[in-house]
């Protein structure tokens, strides 16, 4: 073993350097492919209408129209859209934090007849496209007079999400059971064990719930499209799509709006990069 390691050492180093150079070249070319559309979005967002439709296109808009970002807020109620979406995001996070933790705890740490069957049923609902429930849900909410309100976009969160329940349950399973036992011997109630012991230890999994919920709700388009009619209640995604329909030609402002739409998930991504990518690999492994 040691001989094969030592013999071609010099040659290996040269090969290594060649590999590094070719490695970086491939990385650079690919990152150009991924970043150019983003750059195009950002540079268009800084252009005047004349600059937008210049041929050949201006790569670096000079002068840059930074007030486009302010104009977006004047032309459409973008501030309103932001507030609406943040409200929905926080309501959904609250709903998921309550429901997902309770249900995951029940599945992970308590014994009851039918537990495994119910858990399998829950997992199998992941395999069925939610579209099949779309029409009856719409009818149900419209019979309840909840169309054009936020209820249809919030209420389901308080009943949990199978995927997130699965994720948190797997995490809770990995917490040693001795902790519960010791607490029970000390006379703690089940809720106390859940609240004082399991929840604090499951914090990394709860972070994932927050991040995934934030991104899902922020990006959701179909459900707001179906349930909301009043422009004052629109979310960012929905508002943006109507902005496109109404002002087909204002590409600079539309791109400024798109930049603004991606800022919150982007900030979240930079803060939660570790959890996000780690969490995704958890998802990948357990499948």
Report in angstroms how near the CB of residue 41 gets to other proteins at its nearest: 5
User: What would the x/- binding string for other proteins be over residues 127 to 166, using CB under 8 A?
Assistant: xxx-xxxxxxxxxx-x-------------x-xxx-x--x-
CB of 135 to other proteins, least distance (A): 5
Residue 66 or 221 having the CB closest to other proteins: 221
Binding other proteins (rule: CB under 8 A), the pick from 8, 17, 18, 24 is 24
Please say which residue, 176 or 200, places its beta carbon nearer to other proteins. 176
Hey, which residues between 158 and 217 contact other proteins (CB under 8 A)? 158-160, 162, 165, 177-178, 180-181, 190, 194, 215
In the range 93-122, which residues lie near other proteins by CB under 8 A?
Answer: 98-99, 102-103, 105-107, 110-113, 115-116, 118, 121-122
DSSP state for residue 149 in the 8-state scheme: S
- CA 170 to chain CA centroid, Å, is 20
Token pair in block for residue 138: 């719409």
**Calpha distance 128→144 (Å, rounded):** 25
Q: Judge residue 120's burial from the number of C-beta atoms within 10 Å of its C-beta, 0-12 exposed, 13-18 middle, 19 or more buried.
A: exposed
Q: How many residues does the chain have?
A: 287
Binding span for other proteins by CB under 8 A among 40-48, 75-83, 86-94, 203-211: 40-48
Single out the segment in contact with other proteins by CB under 8 A; choices: 7-15, 71-79, 203-211, 247-255.
247-255
3-state secondary structure 180-207: HHHHHHCCCCHHHHHHHHHHHHCHHHHH
User: Distance from CA of residue 45 to its chain's centroid?
Assistant: 24
Give, in order, the Cα–Cα distances in Å from 76 to each of 29, 41, 148, 246, 248: 38, 19, 19, 10, 14
Return the residues of window 60-99 that contact other proteins according to CB under 8 A: 98-99
Residue closer to other proteins, measured from CB, 124 or 232: 124
Please say whether the beta carbons of 206 and 180 come within 8 A: no
- Asked if 234 interacts with other proteins (CB under 8 A), we say no
- Binding status of residue 240 toward other proteins by CB under 8 A: yes
Which one among 13, 18, 40, 79 touches other proteins, defined by CB under 8 A? 40
Asked if 166 and 214 touch (Cβ cutoff 8 Å), the reply is no
In the structure encoding, which two tokens stand for residue 17, read together? 């350097």
- Binding region for other proteins (CB under 8 A) out of 7-15, 67-75, 203-211, 234-242: 234-242
Dist CA 43 CA 94 (whole Å)? 37
Least CB distance to other proteins at residue 70 (A): 19
Kindly state whether residue 250 participates in binding other proteins, applying the rule CB under 8 A.
Answer: no
- Interface with other proteins: number of residues (CB under 8 A): 98
CB of 121 to other proteins, least distance (A): 7
79-113 core/surface letters (b: 16 or more CB in 10 A; e: else):
ebbbebbbebbebbbebbbebbbebbbbbbbeeee
Contact 179, 197 (CB under 8 A): yes
Is 56 among the residues that bind other proteins (CB under 8 A)? Answer: yes
Pick 246 or 266: Cβ nearer other proteins: 266
């Amino acid at each position: 073993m040691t001989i094969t390691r030592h013999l071609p050492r010099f040659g290996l180093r040269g090969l290594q350097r060649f590999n590094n150079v070719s490695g970086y070249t491939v990385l650079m070319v690919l990152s150009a492919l991924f970043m150019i559309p983003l750059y195009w979005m950002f540079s268009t967002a800084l252009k005047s209408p004349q600059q937008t439709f210049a041929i050949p296109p201006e790569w670096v808009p000079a002068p840059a129209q930074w007030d486009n970002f302010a104009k977006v807020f004047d032309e459409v109620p973008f501030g309103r859209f932001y507030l609406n979406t943040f409200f929905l995001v926080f309501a959904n996070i609250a709903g998921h934090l309550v429901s997902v933790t309770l249900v995951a705890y029940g599945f992970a740490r308590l014994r009851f007849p039918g537990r495994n069957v119910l858990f399998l049923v829950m997992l199998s609902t992941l395999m069925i496209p939610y579209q099949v429930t779309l029409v009856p849900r719409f009818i149900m909410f419209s019979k309840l007079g909840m169309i054009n309100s936020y209820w249809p976009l919030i209420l389901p969160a308080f009943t949990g999400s199978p995927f997130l329940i699965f994720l948190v349950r797997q995490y809770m399973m990995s917490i040693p059971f001795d902790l519960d036992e010791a607490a029970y011997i000390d006379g703690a109630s089940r809720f106390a064990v859940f609240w004082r012991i399991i929840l604090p230890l499951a914090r990394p999994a709860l972070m994932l719930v927050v991040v995934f919920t934030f991104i899902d709700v922020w990006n959701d388009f179909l459900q707001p499209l179906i349930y909301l009619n009043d422009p004052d209640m629109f979310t960012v995604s929905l508002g943006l799509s109507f902005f496109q329909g109404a002002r087909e030609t204002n590409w600079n402002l539309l791109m400024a709006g798109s930049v603004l739409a991606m800022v919150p998930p982007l900030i979240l991504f930079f803060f939660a990069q570790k959890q996000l990518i780690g969490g995704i690999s958890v998802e990948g492994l357990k499948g």
